[in-house]
């Protein structure tokens, strides 16, 4: 039996695809390559974060049907969850699995009995993603994810530690901890509050994983934590400490996206103490630097705590790299609102800013907000912010020219000029190009190797290493 999986979207989706891939391979299935047109089962792991993501998911499903006309097509992922009936009506779709938690049951129903607890590798990637948490209950106005993944579910520390050890044994030298809302790792480990337990006893909901996700709010989870004795609480800092305590040679860990205020003192302690094993890089989602925009976005925190946390991290972690996301053109955003965002980007000296133009996502609060920003204005603001961010990225990077850095090699290739180079990622999330002829490293460099190099000139987003 042959299978093929096509994937869209985030690091969590990519991890879940690799878990599915591992399950099929462990049960004797054969993975089809891109040249194979004979496939028994084709899965599309979809994304639904924007309306454009929905469209891409539909196109990928249609392309899958065209490429593999005899395959049974199964659709999973966030688009399958947000528009289940719509996906079921698409031509050639045989089955829709809207809830990722039921994937193990889906596999067992098809006779796959060897269900892996984690992944052993990530196809062609040399930096591994490990999913440690699922679900979000925050409810930002522009986001559909709390309806597609409404539960909170964290993996036990021992499971993650075992997976990290396996990946390290298989040659991976960087592990990125990822989740739908990574900072809420461990919230679901706290027992239900008395009020929740009372509802469960009355038969209104199950207390497992917060009971009914429609009933259990983020405040409920936070109340649970507040009532749990400190010595019984488990959070991201505990997970990171357990992983760094492995003391695996050459292995480093990187944190995925966090809300700034979720970078707790305990978490910063681990990063500060284990700088040899944790990348000095935080991706802290901002979305806007203006409080009125953040309020309309229904963001949980305004600009002041965000700025203060970023400045605290800079003071504690030497030469830390801070990256972020910003949405421009949110409904009602004025020129003055936008300028405040630009001011925050300049003040915090981000090493990278992912700039997105607001796009109304059907099914979200933001889709019906008044005062839409014209597309041309959104485009102009995006270009302005991209240019500001580029200057800040270059300014931040210049301080590392001439300094040593650890690079995880992701590919070895020959440039059009004929030069053999290795390309990889530094601990502060910059690309690095390493020439392999007539250099100290020789030509026996392979993907997955960790090289300590001196960073030379910077071109665009990439350093070139020098002897």
Block means of pLDDT (10 residues each) for the chain, 467 residues, are 93 94 94 81 94 93 91 95 94 93 93 92 85 94 90 95 94 95 95 79 56 70 92 96 93 96 96 95 98 97 96 96 98 98 97 95 92 98 97 93 94 88 94 80 78 88 83
Residues in the chain: 467
Joined tokens for residue 333: 């955003």
Cross-strand bridge partners of residue 158: none
Residue labelled with tokens 């038969």: 203
Phi and psi torsions of 223, nearest 5°:
-65, -40
> What per-residue confidence (pLDDT) applies to 211?
47
Q: Rounded to the nearest 10 degrees, what angle do helices 303-316 and 335-348 cross at? A: 10
Joined tokens for residue 181: 């809302």
Q: Which is it for strands 404-414 and 450-459: parallel, antiparallel or unpaired?
A: antiparallel
> What per-residue confidence (pLDDT) applies to 291?
98
Q: What is the pLDDT of residues 149-195, one digit of tens each?
A: 888 999 999 999 999 999 999 999 999 999 999 999 999 999 888 87
Distance CA 428, CA 390 (A): 16
Domains of the chain: 2-109 (3.40.50.12160), 128-398 (3.80.30.20), 404-466 (2.40.50)
> What per-residue confidence (pLDDT) applies to 207?
47
Residue labelled with tokens 């985030």: 10
Q: What's the whole-model pTM score?
A: 0.92
């Amino acid at each position: 039996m042959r299978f093929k999986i096509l994937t869209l979207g985030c690091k969590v989706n990519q991890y879940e695809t690799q878990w599915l891939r591992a399950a099929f391979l462990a049960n004797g299935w054969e993975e089809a390559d891109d040249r194979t047109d004979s496939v028994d089962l084709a899965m599309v792991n979809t994304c639904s974060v924007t309306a454009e993501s929905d469209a891409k998911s539909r196109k990928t499903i249609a392309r899958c049907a065209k490429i593999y006309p005899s395959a049974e097509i199964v659709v999973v992922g966030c688009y399958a969850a947000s528009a289940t009936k719509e996906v079921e009506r698409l031509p050639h779709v045989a089955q829709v699995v809207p809830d990722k938690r039921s994937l193990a049951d889906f596999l067992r129903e098809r006779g796959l009995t060897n269900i892996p607890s984690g992944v052993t590798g990530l196809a062609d990637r040399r930096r591994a993603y490990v999913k440690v948490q699922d679900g979000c209950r925050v409810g930002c106005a522009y986001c559909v994810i709390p309806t597609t993944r409404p539960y909170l579910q964290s993996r036990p520390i021992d499971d993650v530690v075992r997976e990290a050890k396996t990946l390290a044994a298989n040659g991976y030298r960087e592990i990125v901890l990822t989740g739908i809302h990574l900072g809420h790792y461990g919230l679901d480990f706290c027992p239900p509050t008395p009020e929740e337990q009372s509802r469960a006893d009355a038969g209104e909901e199950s207390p497992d994983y917060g009971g009914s996700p429609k009933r259990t709010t983020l405040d409920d989870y936070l109340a649970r934590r507040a009532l749990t004795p400190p010595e019984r609480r488990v959070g991201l800092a505990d997970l990171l400490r357990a992983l760094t305590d492995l003391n695996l040679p050459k292995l480093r860990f990187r944190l995925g996206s966090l809300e700034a205020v979720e970078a707790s003192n305990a978490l910063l302690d681990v990063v500060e103490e284990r700088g040899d094993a944790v990348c000095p890089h935080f991706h802290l989602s901002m979305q806007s630097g203006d409080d009125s925009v953040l309020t309309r976005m229904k963001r949980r925190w305004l600009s002041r705590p965000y700025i203060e946390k970023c400045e605290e991290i800079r003071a504690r972690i030497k030469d830390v790299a801070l990256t972020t996301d910003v949405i421009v053109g949110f409904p009602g955003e004025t020129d003055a609102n936008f300028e405040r965002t630009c001011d925050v980007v300049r003040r915090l000296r981000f090493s990278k800013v992912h700039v997105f133009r607001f796009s109304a996502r059907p099914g979200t609060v933001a889709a019906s907000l008044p005062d839409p920003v014209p597309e041309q204005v959104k485009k102009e603001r995006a270009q302005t912010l991209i240019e500001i961010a580029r200057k800040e990225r270059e300014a931040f990077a210049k301080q590392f020219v001439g300094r040593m850095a650890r690079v995880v090699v992701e590919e070895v290739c020959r440039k059009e000029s004929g030069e053999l180079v290795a390309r990889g990622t530094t601990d502060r999330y910059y690309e690095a190009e390493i020439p392999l002829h007539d250099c100290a490293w020789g030509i026996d460099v392979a993907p997955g190797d960790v090289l300590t190099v001196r960073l030379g000139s910077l071109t665009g987003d990439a350093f070139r290493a020098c002897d």
